[in-house]
Amino acid sequence: MIYKISKIGLAVIALAIVVWGCKSSTKTPAGASSAGAAAVVDTFKWNPENFGDKKIIRYQIPGFDKLSLQQKQYVYYLVQAGLSGRDIIWDQNYRYNLAIRRALENVVTNYKGDRSSKDWAAFMLYAKQVWFSSGIHHHYSNDKFIPGFSIDYFAGLIKSVGADLPEEALQAMFNPSIAAKRVDQTPGQDIVKASAVNFYDPDITEKEVTEFYEKMRATADPKLSLGLNSKIVRNRWGALEEKVWKIDGMYGPAIKEIVKWLEKAVGVAENKEQADALRLLIQYYKTGDLKTWDDYNVAWVQATKGDIDYINSFIETYNDPMGMKANYETIIQINDFEASQRMKVVSDNAQWFEDRSPVLPQHKKKVVKGITYKVVMVAGEAGDASPSTPIGVNLPNANWIRADYGSKSVSLGNIIEAYSRSDGPGLLKEFAHDAEEIRLAEKWGEMSSKMHTALHEVLGHASGQLEEGVNTDMLKQYASPLEESRADLFALYYMTDPKLVELGLAPSDEMGKAAYDQYLRNGLMLQLRRIEPGKDIQQAHMRNRQMVSKWVFEKGKAQGAVEMVTRDGKTYINIKDYAKLRTVFGDLLREVQRIKSQGDYEAGKNLIEGYGVKVDRAIHDEVLRRSESLRIPPYGGFINPRLAPVKNGKGEITDVKVEYPADFVGQMLEYGKNYSFLPDNN
């Protein structure tokens, strides 16, 4: 699971989150010489651009220049493999996205007309929004972007550059009723037909998908993640079948490029374990066999030696309304040994936390296996991880692999640092209840945010077990928000536990108090900055946070633990008893784990729909009004560094240098030119 907060817990709580083990502010960016390092950092522009509701950020790769040539080659090949699959996420998000993207790229590159008009400015804003979200739907809200220019103006643009766009794609851009939401999970409707994602042919229904996989599951290995790497299509006889994503199947041209670079990576892997895991990933891409996918994940989770690691393939299922089909994503990571060693104590004590959690005894893991936790430096991202990136990841997602072999958790240290360099304290001071809440946040906010992320990823996602015969598919569209809720709640329950002080992870219980303050402040108020007036919450992580916050506030208020205070026309949240509130967090953790362990769809639906979807309109209006003057975009995404190989006369790589582009549009055009391998229709 990914801890996809991008700006949540960062800009939203407006705290400077700096990874343990970060060097001084005068460190040299990777690829730069140490001479004049302070001057380089002083002029490094972390936030080169804002547009719409988004902030564009740059990140550095500290220590890259200290890697060996073999390691640099390994990183370079893995990054190239990841970028080679970039087209896939576009097509997964909507079937006309690639055609629309290429039309936009053509216009931005070749248009010779007036680039100073209001229409052109609106066109460029639209293009940037689409590039940021890998499609015509907002990356978080799932709502379709509405162009601020006319269809006639756009038709003139594409005609002037000789571009061609199917009429269906043109209508999808401008007709609000066509493909209105990328993912639509509104109860009472057909969530498959209502969602624009390209995981199912447009005429296929939720009922048909359910019956298709129920029939398949009756004879399949219960461990397999059915449907993970395929699109469901209707064949010429009217029956449903899977169109598998593999080298000689759907997305084959892009997968062929991915495999080409992965095969190069095998040759420079740091050790045999890494190479063996990569060979299984290559075999999976060639065959599409889900048993091979499981074999790969077992090998990958056990390959813990070396400085370099990666995430690559079809992984997270947040964008499938049925919670089965996975988005393409990739993140390349370099270990931060100092920071990782400091946090090793969390994974070393995982069994202690599991044994003492408030969940029902039958839902606890008797033996917690193989959790590894590292702070890493990102060297490149693509697919669903870029431009909007997680700050933490815990994989693999298969519950049986976690139980039998363990999991890997990482915190993306340089991403977190880049966020912190680009933000300010405005939101905290505007929304904190009093001076004491501000004091707690300013003193402990950095540490509490890091610790919450660590506990969420290392312990939360790795905790609990399912009852016999239960699988997470039973929770359908509620599986993802419930999983994120479980991980959040596990972390929150232990944030104020004296054990953290005993282990040296927290100097004081005040750290946990700061975490409770910021979680409720965000879940009940600040994250609403991301929602348009009148809209409900759609995204899984946001549903999770509001559900947890509203449920805990309701029960905690009844016990006198928390209240809402109105002062000078402004609303604040005031926690009166942190110990009581911890008990309430534990009560909800027990119930969420029970729902997951028993596959209780109705109870999960009631929690998410009852607490996580509907927005308090008065609070929402107030949050938007109070936030407007601060001018802090609620979302953030990144320009990736560019890895530039240095070659000798024989074409051999003799070094890899890091460059730091500062132009978001330029990078999008570069990616479109160099990493576009799929046809418009797949």
pLDDT single digits (tens) 76-88: 999 999 999 999 9
Q: Mean pLDDT across the stretch 27-52?
A: 57
- Indicate the helix (H) or strand (E) that contains 564: strand 562-567
- Angle (CA) 488 384 472, round 5°: 50
Where is average pLDDT lowest: 8-12, 259-263, 674-678? 8-12
User: pLDDT per residue over 3-37, tens digit each?
Assistant: 444 333 443 323 333 233 332 233 333 333 333 33
Q: At 392, is the pLDDT very low, low, confident or very high (cuts 50, 70, 90)?
A: confident
Residue 570 has pLDDT above 60, yes or no: yes
Q: Give me the helices (H) in 10-139, please.
A: 37-43, 69-84, 86-93, 97-110, 118-133
Residue 259 has pLDDT above 90, yes or no: yes
Residue 668 has pLDDT above 60, yes or no: yes
Residues in the chain: 682
Residue 45 has pLDDT above 60, yes or no: yes
Q: Mean pLDDT across the stretch 34-54?
A: 68
Judgement on whether residues 30 and 173 belong to the same structural domain of the protein: no
- Provide the strand spans (E) within 481-621: 562-567, 570-575
Do the domain assignments include residue 681?
no
Q: Which residues of 395-412 are buried (b: 16+ CB within 10 A; e: fewer)?
A: bbbbbbbbbebbbbbbbb
* Residues 606 and 481: beta-carbon distance below 8 Å: no
Judgement on whether residues 149 and 296 belong to the same structural domain of the protein: no
Residue 582 token pair: 């911890």
DSSP 421-443: HT--SHHHHHH-SSHHHHHHHHH
pLDDT of res. 28: 34
pLDDT of res. 14: 32
Where is average pLDDT lowest: 255-269, 388-402, 548-562, 598-612? 388-402
Judgement on whether residues 319 and 458 belong to the same structural domain of the protein: yes
Judgement on whether residues 364 and 473 belong to the same structural domain of the protein: yes
Do the domain assignments include residue 78?
no
User: pLDDT per residue over 208-243, tens digit each?
Assistant: 999 999 999 999 999 999 999 999 999 999 999 999
Judgement on whether residues 153 and 292 belong to the same structural domain of the protein: no
**Eight-class DSSP state of 379:** E
Judgement on whether residues 15 and 92 belong to the same structural domain of the protein: no
Judgement on whether residues 390 and 306 belong to the same structural domain of the protein: yes
Do the domain assignments include residue 165?
yes
Judgement on whether residues 303 and 443 belong to the same structural domain of the protein: yes
Judgement on whether residues 627 and 530 belong to the same structural domain of the protein: yes
Residue 333 has pLDDT above 70, yes or no: yes
pLDDT of res. 41: 45
Q: Mean pLDDT across the stretch 597-611?
A: 95
Where is average pLDDT lowest: 7-16, 504-513, 552-561? 7-16
What is the rounded distance in angstroms from the CA atom of residue 550 to the CA atom of residue 146?
31
Q: What is the chain's mean pLDDT, rounded?
A: 90
Judgement on whether residues 632 and 657 belong to the same structural domain of the protein: no
Where is average pLDDT lowest: 204-208, 413-417, 424-428? 424-428
User: pLDDT per residue over 95-105, tens digit each?
Assistant: 999 999 999 99
Do the domain assignments include residue 217?
no
Do the domain assignments include residue 230?
no
Judgement on whether residues 450 and 485 belong to the same structural domain of the protein: yes
Do the domain assignments include residue 202?
no
Judgement on whether residues 656 and 623 belong to the same structural domain of the protein: no
- Give the rounded percent of residues in the chain with a pLDDT score beyond 90: 77
pLDDT of res. 21: 30
The number of distinct structural domains making up the chain is: 2
pLDDT of res. 425: 67
pLDDT of res. 423: 63
User: pLDDT per residue over 135-188, tens digit each?
Assistant: 999 998 899 999 999 999 999 999 999 998 999 999 999 999 999 999 998 888
Name the residue with tokens 């969390």: 346
- Predicted structure pTM score: 0.81
- How far is C-alpha 527 from the chain's CA centre? 16
Residue 489 has pLDDT above 80, yes or no: yes
Do the domain assignments include residue 213?
no
* Residues 283 and 313: beta-carbon distance below 8 Å: no
Q: 679: cis peptide before it, omega within 30°? A: no
Residue 227's region, left for phi above 0, alpha for psi from -120 to 50, else beta, is left
- Give the rounded percent of residues in the chain with a pLDDT score beyond 70: 93
User: pLDDT per residue over 616-653, tens digit each?
Assistant: 999 999 999 998 888 888 889 999 999 999 999 999 99
What is the rounded distance in angstroms from the CA atom of residue 472 to the CA atom of residue 331?
25
Residues spanned by the domain of 145: 87-178+650-674
What is the rounded distance in angstroms from the CA atom of residue 385 to the CA atom of residue 62?
20
Do the domain assignments include residue 216?
no
Half-sphere exposure of 597 (CA within 13 A, CB side): 18
